[in-house]
Amino acid sequence: MSTGSAIISIFSAFLLSASLWVPPAHSGEDVAGQIYYTAANIWYENPEKILSTNYHRGTILPVGTKVRVDEVKGKKIRFGDGHGQEFEITFMEKHSSRIVDLWAYFRRYFSRDNPLQGRPYEGFSKSERRNIKMGEIEVGMSKEAVLMAYGYPPAHRTPSLESDQWVYWINRFVNKTVVFQNGRVLKWR
């Protein structure tokens, strides 16, 4: 092997390994006491024991709810709605992926800006906006509208949101699959 070939091989190996590198978990933005909005509907049966798996049972904390973040630390996100209701989400690493850590999860579900004002919400059809408010999915919805209405599918079952199939869990034993075509819901089973 020539010196030039060896250098190209080493450089190619470096580029490949760099593309597989996953940044370490964020060590902690200072979000305590800050006001955020929920960026997607969040389901819960017990507000102090919400799992990041995103089971679809119980009550919905609606997208666009103004919250005060108390803490994002370890595997927990603690926040309150300003009306005396306290919430705690436990980040389930086993239902996640290498690219979705606690902070990536936090950024998916909490926004500094109200997601119900401006884009993309105001660009959704009337039917999509209704489904977002109801926490429902129907044929024809865009992926962005599904994310607001139903939240994010567990990353260990749907590693890429670019996929045309997303698997959601209703509970530990029942799951549902959303099939997309051209970025819109084709069927829901």
Query: Cβ distance 148 to 116 under 8 Å?
Result: no
pTM: 0.81
The pLDDT of residue 176 is: 94
- State the average pLDDT over residues 174-187: 97
Query: Cβ distance 135 to 41 under 8 Å?
Result: yes
CATH 2.30.30 residue ranges of the chain are 35-111
The pLDDT of residue 97 is: 67
The pLDDT of residue 15 is: 37
Rounded CA-CA distance 138/152 in Å is 16
Average pLDDT, rounded, for the chain: 86
Q: Is the pLDDT of residue 27 over 80?
A: no
pLDDT digits (tens, 9 = 90+) for 65-116: 999 999 999 999 999 998 999 999 999 876 676 677 889 899 999 999 999 9
| CATH code for the structural domain at 35-111 | 2.30.30
The pLDDT of residue 10 is: 42
pLDDT digits (tens, 9 = 90+) for 39-67: 999 999 999 999 998 899 999 999 999 99
Rounded CA-CA distance 85/63 in Å is 16
